[in-house]
């Protein structure tokens, strides 16, 4: 699960470091479904889609890869609209390395609505999960360029300074 934490302009086909057969998948938080799948070198150009900074994506590749992303570090207030209750995937803009899973509910304008934050660990091939009911357990660090699932009981707006 990855995101682009910088102001940039990429498409699934132009993400640096991907090669033939690598897959990029986009989640739609409004419809609660995967809406776009791009397979490098196979998917037809009209089905290519923009990679939106601050949005989370799944990337599958048969071997580990590093994606060298270039762009501008944002300096203004960032907002993400969470359309309603259920799962949303997001990435945080900026290069801040001091945030933890427990900080995401503090960024949300509907107190108590963010109840789960989860992160995929590609090495262990499992999720790390923080839950509001036990806020000090599994309070993992948020890493620039990673994406996170959040489960909300209501919609609202997530706002933060990068």
- Nearest in space to 146 (alpha carbons), one of 77, 105, 89: 89
CA distances to 18, 24, 46, 80 from 63, rounded to whole Å, are 10, 14, 27, 32
CA angle, 36 then 110 then 88, to 5°: 15
- pLDDT for residue 12: 97
- pLDDT for residue 122: 86
The pair of structure tokens assigned to 42 is 């196979």
Residue 44 above 90 pLDDT? yes
pLDDT digits (tens, 9 = 90+) for 56-88: 999 999 999 999 999 999 999 999 999 999 999
DSSP element (H, E) containing 117: strand 114-121
pLDDT digits (tens, 9 = 90+) for 89-126: 999 999 999 999 999 999 999 999 999 999 999 889 99
Rounded to whole angstroms, the Cα distance separating 50 from 156 reads: 24
pLDDT digits (tens, 9 = 90+) for 53-63: 989 999 999 99
The pair of structure tokens assigned to 75 is 């300096």
Rounded to whole angstroms, the Cα distance separating 131 from 137 reads: 8
* Max CA distance (Å), the chain: 46
DSSP state of 105: H
Residue 30 above 90 pLDDT? no
Domain extents in the chain = 10-60, 78-160
Residue 10 above 90 pLDDT? yes
Is this prediction's pTM over 0.85? yes
The residues, ordered by sequence, that sit 6+ positions from 107 with a Cβ below 8 Å of its Cβ are: 158, 159, 160
């Amino acid at each position: 699960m990855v995101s682009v934490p910088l102001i940039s302009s990429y498409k699934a086909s132009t993400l640096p470091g991907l090669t033939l057969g690598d897959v990029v998948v986009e989640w739609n938080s409004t419809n609660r479904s995967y809406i776009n799948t791009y397979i490098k070198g196979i998917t037809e150009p009209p089905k290519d889609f923009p990679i939106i900074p601050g949005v989370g994506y799944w990337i599958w590749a048969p071997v580990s890869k590093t994606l060298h992303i270039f762009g501008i570090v944002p300096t203004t207030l960032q907002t993400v609209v969470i359309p309603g209750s259920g799962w949303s995937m997001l990435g945080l803009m900026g290069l801040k390395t001091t945030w933890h899973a427990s900080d995401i509910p503090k960024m949300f304008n509907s107190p108590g609505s963010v109840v789960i934050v989860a992160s995929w660990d590609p090495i262990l091939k499992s999720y790390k999960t923080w839950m509001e009911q036990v806020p000090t357990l599994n309070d993992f660090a948020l890493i620039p360029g990673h994406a996170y699932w959040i489960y909300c009981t209501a919609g609202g707006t997530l706002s933060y300074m990068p």
